[in-house]
Amino acid sequence: MNQQWQMLEKKVDSMSLRERLLTFAAIAAVLVALTKTFLLDPLLVEQKKLSAKMQQQQEKMKTVQAQMDASSQARRDVKNSPLHSRIEQARQQLADGDIYLEGLRERLVAPEKMAALLEQVLNQNGRLRLMDIHTLPVAPLTMAKAGGAGAAAASGVAAPDGQVFKHGVQLTVRGNYLDLMQYLADLEHLPSQMFWGKAEMTVEQHPEVELTLTLYTLSQDKTWLKI
């Protein structure tokens, strides 16, 4: 080994200054190339992978934040909308029995036509989808004393004259938030009236929102077609 170094040293000593410079420059170029290949290039590849992962995480965070913002905005809009106060007002009126069928009979939706009317309005907007619809149990508008009209309604016996019943339908539709707001507005402007019972919105997958509506009509007929 020492002999090889001595031979190499003699060979270098025998070179001219120009040959030495060219040799050292070639060795330096080889060292730089090896450093780039085995050290710098793998580091650059790893850095690119980390940057791509970080960008993906940022995009996911933006999507989740957008969904949360849409859900919060939907809840605020429903709570602060005139429809919400009308729903609360209608619920209170129903609970207090402060609604009379006389004078409203010509304007209220007939119980047997209620579900079909809700679907008809829904079909006017081709972008909304009906997820579920079903009728609710018939209930007397006001609870009577034991043995009175309320007990008669629960037992299936004919109720006394003048007893008013609530007929409810609950449906769930899915679609864009603005389309759902338009659906509520269309229901609000129907010539045949219904009473708002409950409205709930949830964001299933942004930008799609799911709306569950409960609506009522009144009738002296206890018969109710279940769907």
205 CB-near residues (< 8 Å, 6+ apart)? 67
If one compares 80 and 160, the residue with the highest pLDDT of the two is 80
Write down the mean pLDDT value for the chain: 75
* 101 has a pLDDT exceeding 70: no
- Of 192, 224, 217, which Cα lies nearest the Cα of 101? 217
Residue 26: predicted pLDDT: 73
Could you tell me what percent of the chain has a pLDDT over 90? 13
Residues of the chain within CATH 3.30.70.60 domain(s) are: 81-219
- Of 172, 171, 175, 170, which Cα lies nearest the Cα of 128? 175
81-219 topology per CATH: Alpha-Beta Plaits (3.30.70)
Q: Which residues pair with 216 in a beta bridge?
A: 168, 195
Alpha carbons 213 and 210: distance in angstroms, whole number: 10
Exposed, middle or buried by CB within 10 Å (0-12, 13-18, 19+), for 84? middle
Alpha carbons 89 and 166: distance in angstroms, whole number: 16
Could you tell me the pTM of the whole model? Answer: 0.47
Residue 111: predicted pLDDT: 86
pLDDT (tens digit per residue) in 19-39 = 767 777 777 777 777 776 777
Residue 218 backbone dihedrals phi, psi, to 5 degrees: -120, 150
140 CB-near residues (< 8 Å, 6+ apart)? 149, 150, 153, 159, 163, 164, 165, 166
Residue 219: predicted pLDDT: 82
pLDDT (tens digit per residue) in 166-197 = 899 999 999 999 999 999 999 988 888 888 88
* 218 has a pLDDT exceeding 80: yes
Alpha carbons 181 and 201: distance in angstroms, whole number: 11
pLDDT (tens digit per residue) in 35-57 = 767 776 777 777 777 777 778 87
Residue 64: predicted pLDDT: 77
Query: CA neighbours within 13 Å on the CB side: how many for 128?
Result: 26
The C-alpha torsion from 105 through 110 and 114 to 118, rounded to 10°, is: -50
C-alpha angle 23/15/19, rounded to 5°? Answer: 35
Banded pLDDT at 96 (limits 50, 70, 90): low
Q: Tell me the residue type at 79.
A: K
Residue 173: predicted pLDDT: 93
pLDDT (tens digit per residue) in 105-150 = 677 888 888 888 999 999 988 889 999 999 899 888 765 443 433 3
